[in-house]
Structure 1
Amino acid sequence: MKILFVHQNFPGQFTHLAPVLAADASNEVLALTMQKNAPAVWNGVKIISYQVARGTSKEIHPWLADAEPKVIRGEAAMRAALQLREAGFSPDVIIAHPGWGESLFLKEVWPDAKLGIYGEFFYHPKGADVGFDPEFPTDSIDQICKVQLKNINNLLHMPLADAAISPTHWQASTFPSSFRERISVIHDGINTDLIAPNPAVSMSLGNGMVLTRDDEVITFVNRNLEPYRGYHIFMRALPQILAERPNAHVLLVGGDDVSYGAKSATGQSWKDIFYNEVKHLMPETALKRIHFLGNIPYQHFIPLLQLSRVHVYLTYPFVLSWSLLEAMSAGCAIVASDTQPLREAIRHDETGRLVNFFDVSGLAKEVCDLLDQPDTRQRLGASARRFACEFYDLQRVCLPAQLEWVHSLVTETKVNNAVDISAQSLVNTVVIELK
């Protein structure tokens, strides 16, 4: 089988799937990517790099500012695909993350190829991330119209795609009902063998301090420290937490940029804005126990989770982070926001604790209560790990289902959802319907 992966930052979500397919001698696997310094071959996958021919228009209508770059990238990928076709390559299957537009025109090059896309999220002006946080209102008519037009790329892909894969039931539920029957819910997968509890773990912070499981460590992890992932709520809870826990150390992982939401109006990083908001509420001794680690290598990230006594994960109703499931796999006692994406994995007082996203005092109380209850932490962490192993294990659950999904694109059979979580865990999951 000839397989073409398409991802702006390949391998991305296809980190595990692409090499396994490439390891099969009966497959020829290529990948299109915009990475300039990509290797010629990665884990058996031949990499084809390409670049856009132009930038975005200065005078583009602001509501279309999200759409034009996707068309530009789609054209660039199509030109690269034409060269592949002229060289004799004709894929049976195209597997694409459509989020940046690269796969928009590939069926024009290879009309007989089956197209499977990664269904990450369908935007809504109400009921999901937009308008969720009243501190950052997005309910003006201009903003609502702009959000609706962000789905141009999604809507153009729907008639093209033969099937889709979505990592969670809630993310799949954001798509229009007419498309959901083509979506198989299969998570990217967590390496639960690698990410497991380690009582002997230790971690140096680089300032001479070495932390072990004997220390009281609270962790908070995001790609970037921003409101979409509840950074402002967590920071506002720290004065109460650190006042009640004089020996606790807080480790925050994340960059100074934004991944999903808007930058601040002042241009200052959200990290600094909310740290400056609360730092005068804490003595210097408490401030010294807050450690901003930035973005750390993955080999350091795993020990950080293993070190954690309480892990905090907050998010708007949006894409669920891998880090939450990795924390579960590591056996962390988790305090999480009671928002739709979390309810699929965190069952209150079973696999973690849920707290209202905006309840700063409630968050602080849950964290402090768990720090006082080692038996409860052990119970929640063990249950979280069992849940991660049962539903999100890479080798035994998710990767086999992903491979079945790829082959189903050729055989045109429907894949059963790999993460068949019981109905009880989805009782509180809000399914968004287009109005």
Structure 2
Amino acid sequence: MKILLIHQNFPGQYKHLAPALVAQGHEVVALTCKVKQPSNWKGVRVVPYEVKGASTKGVHPWLADFETKLLRATSCYRGAAALKAQGFQPDVICAHHGWGESMFLKDVWPTARLGLYCELYHLTTKPFMNFDPEFPSQSPEADKLRIRMKNLNNRLHEEIMDAGLSPTQFQASSFPQGWQDRITVAHDGVDTDLVVPRADASLLVHRDVTLTRNDEVITFINRNLEPYRGYHVFMRALPEILKRRPNAHVVLIGGDEVSYGAKAPGGQSWKQIFIDEVRGRIPTPHWNRVHFLGRVPYDVYLSMLQISTAHVYLTYPFVLSWSLLEAMSAQCAILASGTEPVREVVTEDENGWLVDFFDRDGLVDRLCALLDDPETRARLGANARAFVRAHYDLKTICLPQHLDWVQRLSQLDPRPPLD
């Protein structure tokens, strides 16, 4: 079978699936704007395409997002047409359509089956909009219209999608029913043979400070430190945490940019805004036990999880972070927000503890109680790892599900493009 993969940041979610398809004997080609020159990656032929065109100055702000997707779509279309001219005819196209790239691929290959990675559909109802009262919509009625426009890319893809894949039930449920009937829920998977607990793990957090499992370590991870992932809630709890835990070190991983929500005001970073807010209430000796590591290599990230005494994970109702499942695989004792995506994987007092996202005092109290109870931490951590092994293991659960999905996709009658 000939398989085309589309991802603007290839391999992205196809990191494990792509080489597994190659191993099954399929011809796998990836079309991406990430690279400039053709290459081979784990048996996958990687073909570049160039994004041409620029955003229109003064375009209506509600159209700006779609215009960037349209530029990628037309550029990817040209790259696909060039592939077709070389004789490549895929049986299956797997695409993460979030950046618009796959919008016109059925016009190039009408008989190919298109399978989409369905990450999230933008909804205008709570809890998707105005979940956090601290950051309300500036214009609630107009924002509903803007969000509807944001789904133009989703809606155009729905017409040509033969099947979809979504990593969690929560994410799949955000899509309209017509989509859900074609979506299979299968997570990307966790390599539980790699993400393991290690009694001898250590982490250098400062030139003269190395932390181990013998230390009391509170860990917190965001791709970027921002409100969507509860960074503001955690930081506001920090003065009391440090006061009540005089020996604890707090280690945070995350960048200074924005992954999901609005940009910070005044050209600042959310990271610095909330540091500035709480720093005056934290004595310097306490502050010296707070370690911001920024973005780190994977092995450093893994060591952080392996030395964690308690791991805090907070999120809006949104895409579930890989880091939570990896923390569970590393046998961390989890304290997480009781938001819907989290409750899909964390059950109160079974494989973690839950706290209301906005309950700062509850967060502090439950964190301290967890730190004071090594037997509970051990039980929760062991159960967390067992849960991930049973439901999200890459090799035995998730990758076979993805391979089966591709096989079933190849047997569908393709949907043609619509006028």
- TM-score tier, shorter chain, comes to over 0.9
Please state how far the C-alpha of 1:207 moved relative to its aligned partner: 1.6
CA distance in 1, matches of 2:324, 2:23: 30
CA distance in 1, matches of 2:377, 2:303: 18
Please state how far the C-alpha of 1:129 moved relative to its aligned partner: 3.1
Superposed, 1:88-127 pairs within 5 Å as: 88-127=87-126
Per-residue CA distance 1:383-425 (angstroms, 9 max, x = gap): 1101110100000000001000000011239xxxxxxxxxxxx
Change (3 A) 1:103 1:174: same
Please state how far the C-alpha of 1:190 moved relative to its aligned partner: 0.2
Indicate the residue corresponding to 1:144 in structure 2: 144
Secondary structure of the residue aligned to 1:105 is: helix
Which amino acid in 1 is paired with 2:88?
F
Which amino acid in 2 is paired with 1:327?
A
- Name stretches of at least 5 consecutive residues in structure 1 with no aligned partner: 414-435
CA distance in 1, matches of 2:82, 2:64: 29
CA distance in 1, matches of 2:187, 2:36: 28
Superposed, 1:213-292 pairs within 5 Å as: 213-292=213-292
Indicate the residue corresponding to 2:70 in structure 1: 71
Per-residue CA distance 1:148-168 (angstroms, 9 max, x = gap): 111111111111010000000
**Larger displacement relative to structure 2 (268-277 or 127-136):** 127-136
1:311 is aligned to 2:311: yes
Please state how far the C-alpha of 1:39 moved relative to its aligned partner: 5.9
Secondary structure of the residue aligned to 1:408 is: helix
Secondary structure of the residue aligned to 1:211 is: strand
Secondary structure of the residue aligned to 2:358 is: coil
Secondary structure of the residue aligned to 2:53 is: coil
Secondary structure of the residue aligned to 1:367 is: helix
1:195 is aligned to 2:167: no
CA distance in 2, matches of 1:252, 1:94: 38
CA distance in 2, matches of 1:349, 1:37: 50
CA distance in 2, matches of 1:316, 1:105: 33
Change (3 A) 1:287 1:164: same
Which amino acid in 2 is paired with 1:69?
T
CA distance in 2, matches of 1:277, 1:59: 36
Which amino acid in 2 is paired with 1:379?
R
Indicate the residue corresponding to 1:131 in structure 2: 130
CA distance in 2, matches of 1:412, 1:82: 23
Which amino acid in 2 is paired with 1:205?
V
Q: TM-score, structure 2 length as denominator?
A: 0.97
CA distance in 2, matches of 1:234, 1:305: 17
Q: Percent identity?
A: 55
Change (3 A) 1:246 1:129: same
Give the conservation status (yes or no) of the 8 Å contact 1:212–1:307. yes
CA distance in 2, matches of 1:252, 1:231: 10
Give the conservation status (yes or no) of the 8 Å contact 1:128–1:318. no
CA distance in 2, matches of 1:402, 1:29: 15
Indicate the residue corresponding to 1:433 in structure 2: none
Give the conservation status (yes or no) of the 8 Å contact 1:93–1:116. yes
Please state how far the C-alpha of 1:38 moved relative to its aligned partner: 6.3
CA distance in 2, matches of 1:374, 1:183: 41
Indicate the residue corresponding to 2:416 in structure 1: none
Secondary structure of the residue aligned to 2:397 is: helix
Give the conservation status (yes or no) of the 8 Å contact 1:164–1:182. yes
Indicate the residue corresponding to 1:424 in structure 2: none
Which amino acid in 1 is paired with 2:181?
E
**Larger displacement relative to structure 2 (121-130 or 291-300):** 121-130
Secondary structure of the residue aligned to 1:375 is: helix
Indicate the residue corresponding to 2:17 in structure 1: 17
Which amino acid in 1 is paired with 2:280?
H
**Larger displacement relative to structure 2 (47-56 or 184-193):** 47-56
CA distance in 1, matches of 2:412, 2:169: 22
Give the conservation status (yes or no) of the 8 Å contact 1:217–1:249. yes
For the aligned residue pairs, the C-alpha RMSD in angstroms reads 1.1
Per-residue CA distance 1:363-397 (angstroms, 9 max, x = gap): 11111110000000001101110111010000000
CA distance in 1, matches of 2:315, 2:275: 18
Which amino acid in 2 is paired with 1:43?
K
Superposed, 1:149-160 pairs within 5 Å as: 149-160=149-160
Please state how far the C-alpha of 1:179 moved relative to its aligned partner: 1.2
**What is the aligned length?**
412
Per-residue CA distance 1:245-284 (angstroms, 9 max, x = gap): 0000000000000000111121110000001101111111
CA distance in 2, matches of 1:171, 1:225: 22
Which amino acid in 2 is paired with 1:165?
L
Q: TM-score, structure 1 length as denominator?
A: 0.93
Please state how far the C-alpha of 1:141 moved relative to its aligned partner: 2.1
Give the conservation status (yes or no) of the 8 Å contact 2:253–2:293. yes
Per-residue CA distance 1:162-216 (angstroms, 9 max, x = gap): 0000000010000001110100000000000110111111111242211110000
Secondary structure of the residue aligned to 1:130 is: coil
Change (3 A) 1:38 1:130: farther
Give the conservation status (yes or no) of the 8 Å contact 1:121–1:171. yes
Indicate the residue corresponding to 1:431 in structure 2: none
Change (3 A) 1:37 1:199: farther
CA distance in 1, matches of 2:376, 2:356: 20
Change (3 A) 1:169 1:38: farther
Secondary structure of the residue aligned to 1:235 is: helix
CA distance in 2, matches of 1:337, 1:157: 33
